[in-house]
Structure 1
Amino acid sequence: MTQAAARPALIVVAASFGFLVTQLDVTIVNVALDAIGAAFDAPMAALQWVVDAYVLALAAMLLSAGALGDRIGPRRVFVAGLVLFGLASAACGLAAGPGALIAARAAQGAAGALLIPPSLALIAHAFEGDDRRRAWAVGWWTAAGGVSIAAGPVLGGLLVAALDWRWVFLVNLPLCAIGVALTLAVTPEAPPRARKPLDLPGQALALIAVTALVGAVIEGGRRGWSHPGPLVALVVGALAVAAFLWVEARSPHAVAPLSMFRQQSVSTAVLVGSALNFTYYGLVFVLGLYLQRAVGYGPEQAGLAFLPLTATFILSNLISGGLVARFGAARVTGAGVLIAAGGYALTARLGAGSSFWEMLPGFALIPGGMGLAIPALTSGLLASVDRSVAGAATGVLNACRQAGGAAGVAVFGALAAGGPERIVSGLRVSGVVAAVMLVGAAWVVGRRVR
Structure 2
Amino acid sequence: MLAPLALAQFICSFAGSNMNVMINDISHDLDTTVQGVQIVITLFLLVMAALMIPGGKATDRFGRKRVFLVGLAVYGVGAALSAVAPGIGVLILGTSILEGVGTALLIPPVYILTKLLFTDLTSRARAFGVIMAAGGIGAAAGPLIGGLITSAISWRAAFAFQVLVIALIIVLSRAVEDPLPPDPQRRFDVTGAVLSAAGLVLIVLGILAADDDLVLMIVLIAVGILLLAWFLHWIRHEERSGREPLLSTSLFRERASHLGLITQNAQWLLLMGTSFTVATYLQVVRGYDAIETGVIFTAATLGLLFSSLAAERLARRLPQRTLIMAGFVLAIAGIGALISLVAGTPSPWAFAPGLLLIGLGLGVMLTPSVNVVQSAFPEEQQGEISGLSRSVSNLGSTFGAAIAGTILVADLTENAYAAAMATLALTAVVGLFAASRLPPAAPPAT
Q: Is the 8 A contact 1:44 1:413 kept in 2?
A: no
The equivalent residue for 1:427 is: 417
Distance in 2 between residues matched to 1:39 and 1:192, nearest whole Å: 47
Amino acid paired to 1:192: P
Instruction: Give the Å deviation of 1:392.
Output: 2.4
**Are positions 1:123 and 2:114 aligned together?**
yes
Percent of matched pairs sharing the same residue? 25
Give the stretch that moved more between structures: 196-205 or 366-375. 196-205
TM-score by length of 1: 0.90
Q: Is residue 48–residue 218 contact of structure 1 (8 Å, CA) maintained in 2?
A: no
Check 1:72–1:158 CA distance in 2 against 1; reply closer, same or farther (3 A cut). same
Q: Tell me what 1:437 maps to.
A: 427
Choose the corresponding residue for 1:90, options 43, 67, 80.
80
Task: Give the counterpart of 1:224 among 213, 218, 242.
Answer: 213
Bigger Cα displacement from structure 2, 15-24 vs 83-92: 15-24
The worse-fitting range, judged by mean Cα deviation, of 235-244 and 211-220 is 235-244
Amino acid at match of 2:155: W
**2:4 matched residue in structure 1:** 14
Q: Distance in 1 between matches of 2:270 and 2:21?
A: 17
- Equivalent residue for 1:401, pick from 385, 388, 393: 393
- The answer on 1:288 being equivalent to 2:275 is no
Match of 2:180? 191
Cα deviation digits, residues 194-228 of structure 1 (max 9, x gap): 5531121121112211111111111221x2325xx
Equivalent residue, structure 2, for 1:111 = 102
The 5-angstrom pairing of residues 294-443 of structure 1 reads 294-349=285-340, 350-351=342-343, 354-418=346-410, 422-443=412-433
Between stretches 70-79 and 55-64, larger displacement belongs to: 70-79
Cα root mean square deviation, aligned: 2.0
Aligned residue for 1:7? Answer: none
Contact 2:265-2:394 within 8 A present in 1 as well:
yes
Q: State whether structure 2 residue 165 is matched by structure 1 residue 175.
A: yes
Query: 2:233 pairs with 233, 246, 260, which one?
Result: 246
2:321 aligned partner, one-letter code: A
- Cα–Cα, structure 1 residues 397 and 127, in superposed 2: closer, same or farther, change >3 Å? closer
Q: Structure 1, residues 283-330: CA drift from partner, whole Å, max 9, x if none?
A: 211111111122221111111111111111111111222222212111
Deviation at residue 177 of structure 1 after TM alignment: 0.9
In 2, Cα distance between the equivalents of 1:132 and 1:237?
Answer: 41
Q: Is the 8 A contact 1:273 1:401 kept in 2?
A: yes
Structure 2: how far apart are the matches of 1:168 and 1:258? 41
Comparing 250-259 and 330-339, the one that deviates more: 250-259
For structure 1, the residue ranges without an aligned partner over 5 or more in a row are 1-10
1:3 maps to what in 2? none
Cα shift at 1:85? 0.8
- Is residue 32 from structure 1 mapped to residue 19 from structure 2 by the alignment? no
Distance 1:238 1:446, change over 3 A: closer
Displacement of 1:418 in angstroms is: 4.9
Taking structure 2 as the reference length, the TM-score comes to 0.91
Q: Which has the higher contact order (CA 8 A, sep 6+)?
A: 2
Q: 1:233 — aligned with what?
A: 220
Q: 1:180 to 1:294 in 2, by over 3 A?
A: same
Please name the residue that 2:444 is paired with: none
- Output one character per residue of 1:104-154: Cα deviation in whole Å (capped at 9) or x when no partner: 2222111011211222333344334x3322332222222222211111010
Letter in 1 for 2:18: I
CA distance in 1, matches of 2:431, 2:198: 27
Tell me how far 1:428 sits from its aligned partner.
0.6
**Size of the alignment, in residue pairs?**
433
Structure 2, unpaired ranges of 5+: 441-446
